[in-house]
Structure 1
Amino acid sequence: MTLERLEFDNAYARLPEYFYTRVQPTPRRGTRVLDTSPDCAELLGLEAAGLDDEPLRALMAGEQLLPGMDPLAQKYTGHQFGVYNPALGDGRGLLLGEVRTPHGPLDLHLKGSGQTPYSRFADGQAVLRSSIREYLVSEHLAALGIPTTRALAVAVNDERVQRETVEPGATLLRVAESHVRFGHFEWLAYKGDEDGLQRLADHVIERHRPWLREHETPYAALFEDVVARTAELIARWQAYGFVHAVMNTDNMSILGLTIDYGPYAFLDTYIPDRVPNHTDTEGRYAFDQQAGVALWNLNRLGNALMPLVEREALVSALESFSGQLQQAFGAVMRQRLGLTTPQDDDAELCREWLTLLYQSGADYHRAFRMLSYYDGSEMQRARLAREVPDPSALAQWLERYDARLATEQRTTEERLEAMQAVNPVYVLRTHIAQRAIEAAERGDRDELGLIRECLCRPFTPRPGCEAYEQAPPADEAAVCLSCSS
């Protein structure tokens, strides 16, 4: 199917008009599409070969909408670094419309589309640097099995945008089941709009969680669902060493998706208190604080839902969060360690592995990948020791690991195959993202596309892509990033 044949059913536009403002995109001069994601296109039922045509360029330039689109900017608020901010909303992005697909409705959202009533003093533009980063990580996290918004395409334009320096302008075509955030509910609760709260909750249930309609207490069930999905999300972030870095409540998805990528990072060496956002001077959103922040954010959402849900039900759901997160984290880490049947000592074995990585200064991702080749032979022990440079501690841990593997029913070959399917070769480290940005800036679509292909098939080594497997040079490790985008 081609882009022009997409069918739209814009349910959010049928909510009360004060939920949003209709806005037309601002045309961007000299727009060129740099790359498109075949995987995301498949979600929409689109033919990847047809994405390089004029309708996509014109759409991303803000020049021509598709039939059935009804662009709007959503209003929401939220807590930013723990402080409530009432003046939020879509300030440089528009929900263009909701596409009917066999998998359910999917939002098309254009980022960098111009100013809206919620822009405050901002220019409504996106820059190429941050657009490339969001484009790549959206598709990469999906390939890693981490719930996320998606990205269909990224384009550069001839606008010059002032941030810390003058940068090329860009637009990003984002795809998601929904863009409803915790902050949507906070906005309605803070203004005392109980009817609006109920309408929005009904919209989320009807559109995205229809099985909850028959529940005796559907709004309580919705909150329980959000708690469970958020726990699963954070568990997967932690297991794969991902730091979101700006976990404000307006950046929390009601569907448990990773959304709104700013100065995110993947760990290189295992540093639990890693803070990639240079404005986060107190480490509020550090890697090892993400679970606690998620629970704090869920409490804010629970407070907003109090007009609809009994307090006891909210408290019960919140109290279940830590247990659900630990269970989900344990399940992912057992997969990564090649273990199939849960045992009581697995959590301790995992903790000892992470401690070993931390104390030895090992690279988090390369150590896991090398472990996925470990068959007990001296050759593989030696290869693993090159990644985990503490021979004595590694030998002690491997002794315990070998004993645990002996209780498994799978053959060594079956275990290694399964481990190599969950421990990536390629990870979107900060220096790889920078390489992609530089390729985009010089118009090298081939390298940008190759990096995207590696990240979308992260578990399969590709000849000629060895540079993308490497840890960063010492002077590029643990770089702090800016929120400006």
Structure 2
Amino acid sequence: MAGRALEALSFDNSYARLPEAFHAKLNPTPFSSSPYLISFNAAAAELIDLDPAEAARPEFAGVFGGSLLVPGMEPLAMLYAGHQFGVYVPQLGDGRAILLGEVRNARGEKWDLQLKGAGLTPFSRDGDGRAVLRSTIREYLCSEAMHGLGIPTTRALCIVGSDHQVYREQVETGAIVVRMAPSHVRFGSFEVFYYRKQHEQLKVLADYVIARHYPHLAGAPDPYARFFDEVVERTAKLIAQWQAVGWAHGVMNTDNMSILGITLDYGPFGFIDDYDPGFICNHSDHNGRYAFSQQPYIGLWNLSCLAQALLPLAGKDELKAALDRYTPVCEGWYMELMRAKVGLLDRQEEDAELIQDLLGLMHQHRVDYTIFFRALGDFRSAPGDPNDGLRDFFLDRDAFDRWARRYAERLRAAGSRDEERRARMNRVNPKYVLRNYLAQQAIEKAQQKEFSEIDRLLTLLRNPFDDQPGMEAYAAAPPNWGKHLSVSCSS
């Protein structure tokens, strides 16, 4: 079918029909200068049946730059609370994001469209309600990069820029990223009503989320406990995927945790370069609460906060039983992903030790996580084969040789064939990831009104497992300056 025009998008806003306590209805605040389109994501447009040709219309930047509305939009800012760096903050909410509504596509799927950087809301606190160009580029690119990697995530439709001045550490230009998700409800959306002792509103929210996103649980016995159980499983598997691909979120506050188990809110994220389990991607995280290795534990901690908020609706024992499933699911899923990364098809007891020993060597020798796992596909398992290219990643080649002999024996015992294994491994070990320095290069060009690098990265990261001719430089290790970029919550 032909794509729809902007005015023909099938907008609704079911969240706007929830009681007033859930949101503040208001329109976006237009930029002080004319908005213009910086980048358009045709793959995301397809999800809402939007004709890509619409992006060329001047009205497109108006609608997604916050100065025009189309029929059916009911803009609002959502209320929520959350635990930030372990401390409960009683009211947060969308301080710079405005939900335009939901678009239903021809398949009956609904996608929230949210403008991030759309101006002041009642929840802005001391902020200005704006996003800067660099942060919109980072979220736009990383959400699509994660989708390319097969990791559940919000999507991004476009970036709309302006010459509107925004004050951070320095004067920057304002921009809006249009974020898409089946829902933007967070753990903190439940916490706010629990701590306010508004248990009726808590039930309204739970019923809304179940009816819209977990409809198979509607009318089931113990629907709230079963709903929580599914959130636990989705979250556990999501974080296992983060760990396997070597990605750190940076701000795993409960208000940044999706009730659907999708990656939500891209601020100071980072893909690991030289493998370091203690990697901290957010320079505001002084105590390393959200270090890479801590993410599985923080996932459990955040789920325990959600369980607490659901106590008025579900039995304590049922909630605890669901929480107890988190660690086995997360660890089990992680091991399955890591077995695939090293090309193992069957399960053996010694696999965990084999993989942990490899990671230990990589940490000790500062080996690039993405590049090494991609190269490991070329490992030759025949007895006595030196695997010189892989040895050269390590200063202590003898230490690698000892590990390699164990790995080769494991592969031979499983009847593994090198060519078949290599093809399998290349399907799960990406050649390209959105390293911080690549995003920074695109940002610096965009700040000079040169936007082609954004689109180049968007195209590259859609297919991160494929060898892409002419793009070898994007698969290389970062330059030294690129390993030490400082990224904070304002990013």
Identify the TM-score tier after normalising by the shorter chain: over 0.9
User: Corresponding residue for 2:488?
Assistant: 482
User: Corresponding residue for 1:245?
Assistant: 250
Aligned residue among 74, 79, 82 for 2:78: 74
Residue 103 of structure 1: CA displacement? 6.0
Q: Give, in whole Å, the separation in 1 of the partners of 2:411 and 2:46.
A: 39
Matches within 5 A, 1:45-64: 45-64=49-68
> Are the equivalent residues in 1 in contact too, given 2:65–2:161 (CA < 8 A)?
no
Residue 14 of structure 1: CA displacement? 1.4
User: Corresponding residue for 2:308?
Assistant: 303
User: Corresponding residue for 1:408?
Assistant: 414
Q: Point out the more displaced range, 400-409 or 337-346.
A: 400-409
Aligned residue among 428, 431, 442 for 1:436: 442
Q: Point out the more displaced range, 387-396 or 280-289.
A: 387-396
> Are the equivalent residues in 2 in contact too, given 1:370–1:387 (CA < 8 A)?
no
* Secondary structure of 1:33 counterpart: strand
> Are the equivalent residues in 2 in contact too, given 1:276–1:479 (CA < 8 A)?
no
Residue 444 of structure 1: CA displacement? 2.2
Q: Give, in whole Å, the separation in 2 of the partners of 1:480 and 1:407.
A: 46
Q: Give, in whole Å, the separation in 2 of the partners of 1:342 and 1:8.
A: 48
> Are the equivalent residues in 1 in contact too, given 2:12–2:74 (CA < 8 A)?
no
Q: Give, in whole Å, the separation in 2 of the partners of 1:105 and 1:388.
A: 49
Residue 56 of structure 1: CA displacement? 2.1
Determine if the alignment matches structure 1 residue 86 to structure 2 residue 90. yes
Residue 477 of structure 1: CA displacement? 1.1
Residue 483 of structure 1: CA displacement? 1.1
Matches within 5 A, 1:85-484: 85-101=89-105, 102=107, 104-376=109-381, 381-408=387-414, 411-484=417-490
Q: Give, in whole Å, the separation in 2 of the partners of 1:248 and 1:150.
A: 20
Q: Give, in whole Å, the separation in 1 of the partners of 2:378 and 2:54.
A: 40
Residue 99 of structure 1: CA displacement? 1.1
Q: Give, in whole Å, the separation in 2 of the partners of 1:438 and 1:291.
A: 34
Specify whether residues 347 and 70 from structure 1 end up closer, same or farther in structure 2 by C-alpha distance, changes over 3 A only: same
> Are the equivalent residues in 1 in contact too, given 2:381–2:412 (CA < 8 A)?
no
Amino acid at match of 2:28: P
Amino acid at match of 2:487: L
1:249-299: CA deviation from partner (whole Å, max 9, x where unpaired):
111111111111111111101111111211111111111111111111111
Amino acid at match of 1:405: L
1:375-425: CA deviation from partner (whole Å, max 9, x where unpaired):
347898122223344311211111111122123355332221111111111
Specify whether residues 345 and 55 from structure 1 end up closer, same or farther in structure 2 by C-alpha distance, changes over 3 A only: farther
Residue 361 of structure 1: CA displacement? 1.1
* Secondary structure of 2:250 counterpart: coil
User: Corresponding residue for 2:7?
Assistant: 4
Q: Give, in whole Å, the separation in 2 of the partners of 1:26 and 1:111.
A: 11
* Secondary structure of 1:387 counterpart: coil
Q: Give, in whole Å, the separation in 1 of the partners of 2:415 and 2:43.
A: 35
Amino acid at match of 1:415: R
Specify whether residues 103 and 321 from structure 1 end up closer, same or farther in structure 2 by C-alpha distance, changes over 3 A only: farther
TM-score (norm 1): 0.97
Q: Give, in whole Å, the separation in 2 of the partners of 1:256 and 1:234.
A: 9
1:130-181: CA deviation from partner (whole Å, max 9, x where unpaired):
1100000000001111111111111211111100111111000000011000
Specify whether residues 52 and 457 from structure 1 end up closer, same or farther in structure 2 by C-alpha distance, changes over 3 A only: farther
> Are the equivalent residues in 1 in contact too, given 2:114–2:178 (CA < 8 A)?
yes
Q: Give, in whole Å, the separation in 2 of the partners of 1:428 and 1:475.
A: 16
Residue 195 of structure 1: CA displacement? 0.9
Specify whether residues 81 and 391 from structure 1 end up closer, same or farther in structure 2 by C-alpha distance, changes over 3 A only: same
Amino acid at match of 2:57: D
1:292-314: CA deviation from partner (whole Å, max 9, x where unpaired):
11111111110000000100011
Amino acid at match of 1:24: N
TM-score (norm 2): 0.96
* Secondary structure of 1:115 counterpart: coil
Amino acid at match of 1:75: L
Specify whether residues 38 and 379 from structure 1 end up closer, same or farther in structure 2 by C-alpha distance, changes over 3 A only: farther
Q: Give, in whole Å, the separation in 1 of the partners of 2:394 and 2:43.
A: 35
Q: Give, in whole Å, the separation in 1 of the partners of 2:444 and 2:379.
A: 36
Q: Give, in whole Å, the separation in 2 of the partners of 1:266 and 1:233.
A: 15
Aligned residue among 7, 19, 22 for 2:22: 19
Residue 456 of structure 1: CA displacement? 1.3
Q: Point out the more displaced range, 120-129 or 457-466.
A: 457-466
Q: Give, in whole Å, the separation in 1 of the partners of 2:241 and 2:477.
A: 21
* Secondary structure of 1:34 counterpart: strand
Ranges in structure 2 where 5+ consecutive residues have no aligned partner: none
What percentage of residue pairs aligned between the two structures are identical?
47
Q: Give, in whole Å, the separation in 2 of the partners of 1:284 and 1:167.
A: 29
Q: Give, in whole Å, the separation in 1 of the partners of 2:367 and 2:399.
A: 12
> Are the equivalent residues in 1 in contact too, given 2:381–2:411 (CA < 8 A)?
no
Specify whether residues 388 and 210 from structure 1 end up closer, same or farther in structure 2 by C-alpha distance, changes over 3 A only: farther
